[in-house]
Amino acid sequence: MPSGGGEARQLTSGAEDGFTNGLADFIAQEEFGQTDGFWWSPDGSRIAFVEVDARHIPDYPIVHQGRDALDTEHHRYPFAGAPNARVRLGVVPAAGGEPVWMDLGEEDDIYLPRVVWRSDGVLAGMVLNRAQTELRLHLFDPNTGTVLRTLVERTEPWLNLGDFRFLETGELLWSSERSGFRHLYLYDADLKESHELTTGEWVVTRIVEVDEAGRAVFFSGTREGAVERHLYRVGLDGGEVERLTTEPGVHGCAVAPDGETFVDTFSSREGAAVTTLRRTNGGEVIATLHEEADMTAAAQGLQPPELRVMEAADGTPMSGALYRPEGEGPHPLVVSVYGGPHAQRVLDDWALTVDLRAQYLAQAGFVVLAVDNRGSANRGLAFEAHLHRRMGTVELDDQVAAVEQVVAEGLADRERVGIYGWSYGGYMTCMSLMRAPEVFRVGVAGAPVVDWDGYDTGYTERYMSTPQDNPDGYREGAVTTHVEGLSGKLLLVHGMVDENVHFRHTARLITALTTAQKPYDIQIFPEERHMPRDAAGLEYMERRLVSYFEEHLLA
């Protein structure tokens, strides 16, 4: 559409069911956070776009069975080991004309997770192989589609995407886990490595801002510990890393382009977020932009959870949070679990304190425990890679080890241990009850992944490879393989129109439980997706979860 008004102009053609131009494919959106499918050039004369062909992927219908009128959604969902969508990257003149296709290489089974224009009109496209072990950042001539230069990054056992920025000089600020921990590197305009900017056994979590005039980059990281987030600054030409935030906890920051000031939104377990404007040099508070009176743990009558360093099954330190009820133990214990990769539960922030489900259970007399087991994020690639090709093993071992430590203190009753979680946490709940029934007696599993061959390519294959390549890992990592071990009480909760973890997972588990003659309880939400969203559904779910633990662990 011309900016001055007038008729819309069609620039691409050929779109049909399963074939699109300018829309990111499902995996790019769901697993790589790429929601854009087209990108304007800096001068506005051209548009880069992605062409997605998913016509060969079978349609997966999701039926709305909770409505008066029948309605069916249709999704082209690529299951692990099955074909992915095919993608191409094109550039078309904004005035109209034939697209120029970028040379993405001979391999067509690829991901295109990032596309960005440089300020000089060069187009950059990130190509990731299906195994997610090799990344190629190509610089393209948009006039011809030819590759001008390429940066190649290879990482085992998998490659996590990170932040990057092109500078006005043409230099590339790049983040990589090549050392085992995510750090910053500077490349020149020809993509030849210049130097490492940060190093150590901690991770850079986000590039916040680049002050090009001052030759400095501001970033968020974990140098002070995995449960904290601070703002740091380091020169683009090297030098010492300088911490700019001081209070222990989690700081979410935005830095002014000139690098002189920053907005700091800070919270900890003791109090809600306070937003201030500060100077980068010296940290002086210029103004308090937002602060809620009496929004502290003490004022709200909440007991902040205890942060603990716990031991994994192999002795590796791991972060834990414990909500303690009143009175002497032993108390019934409930584990709040996620357990999967690319996620971290335990942070010294206000969200941990206002986990109202955990607080309610603690006030009802339960010890509540959350642990970032081996396989979770922001502890380095080796820590996360423990679950490579064997999901459902080391994560469970570490949860069991954490429970044993709390029991050994006399705080928890070994005979009254429950567990709950959602999505990967639902998977962990099922596996806990079936593979460690001597430890876990009661579980509430929300939207659980049951068999990894029923989840998507981008996520599953990154950690497990394909079912064809890793049949033993898929078999041992399937909940249905272990149903004979169930002896406790299991409540399954799932929305029937979940487009992420399909209700099919729960249906397959029910079939296996029925075959094994294992009792279970179930709560279905016919018109909810990955979890209830409306107030009535949320309240109903919380009441059901709490009453389930009260009935089976307090009685």
Helices 356-363/535-549 angle, 10° precision: 40
Omega cis (within 30) before 467: no
- Number of continuous H segments (helices) and E segments (strands) in the chain: 10, 31
Q: What would the two tokens of residue 102 be?
A: 């970028």
pLDDT at 192: 84
Residue of 450 and 192 predicted with greater confidence: 450
Q: Give the model confidence (pLDDT) of 468-486 as tens digits.
A: 999 999 999 999 999 999 9
Q: Is the pLDDT of residue 299 over 70?
A: yes
Q: What is the mean pLDDT of the chain?
A: 96
550: alpha, beta or left? (left if phi > 0; alpha if psi -120 to 50): alpha
Q: Give the model confidence (pLDDT) of 493-525 as tens digits.
A: 999 999 999 999 999 999 999 999 999 999 999
pLDDT at 193: 76
| pLDDT tier for residue 18 given thresholds of 50, 70 and 90 | very high
- Amino acid 396 reads L
Q: Is the pLDDT of residue 3 over 80?
A: no
pLDDT at 1: 60
Residue 84: helix, strand or coil by DSSP? coil
99: phi then psi, degrees, rounded to nearest 5: -75, 150
Burial (CB < 10 A; 0-12, 13-18, 19+), residue 6, is exposed
Sorted by sequence, the CB contacts under 8 Å of residue 432 that are 6+ apart come out as: 335, 337, 396, 399, 400, 419, 439, 440, 443
Catalytic residues: 423, 498, 530
Nearest in space to 359 (alpha carbons), one of 272, 269, 443, 292: 269
| pLDDT tier for residue 2 given thresholds of 50, 70 and 90 | low
Q: Give the model confidence (pLDDT) of 61-87 as tens digits.
A: 999 998 888 899 999 999 999 999 999
Distances (CA, A) of 490 to 336, 401, 486, 552: 15, 21, 8, 10
Q: What would the two tokens of residue 531 be?
A: 């979890």
Sorted by sequence, the CB contacts under 8 Å of residue 429 that are 6+ apart come out as: 337, 419, 420, 421, 443, 444, 445, 446, 448, 490
Q: Give the model confidence (pLDDT) of 343-390 as tens digits.
A: 999 999 999 999 999 999 999 999 999 999 999 999 999 999 999 999
Q: Give the model confidence (pLDDT) of 328-354 as tens digits.
A: 889 999 999 999 999 999 999 999 999
Q: Is the pLDDT of residue 205 over 80?
A: yes
pLDDT, mean of residues 287-292? 95
Nearest in space to 389 (alpha carbons), one of 481, 458, 461, 314: 461
Contact assessment for residue 258 and residue 213, using Cβ atoms and an 8 Å cutoff: yes
What domains can you pick out in the chain, each with its CATH number?
Answer: 13-154 (no CATH), 177-268+270-300 (2.120.10.30), 306-554 (3.40.50.1820)
d(CA 42, CA 45): 8
The C-alpha angle 325, 328, 330, rounded to 5 degrees, equals 85
Q: Is the pLDDT of residue 96 over 70?
A: yes
Sorted by sequence, the CB contacts under 8 Å of residue 49 that are 6+ apart come out as: 12, 21, 22, 37, 38, 39, 89, 90, 91, 92, 99
**Residues above pLDDT 70, as percent of the chain:** 99
What is the DSSP code string of 27-44?
Answer: HHHHHH-----EEE-TTS
Q: What would the two tokens of residue 10 be?
A: 């069609």
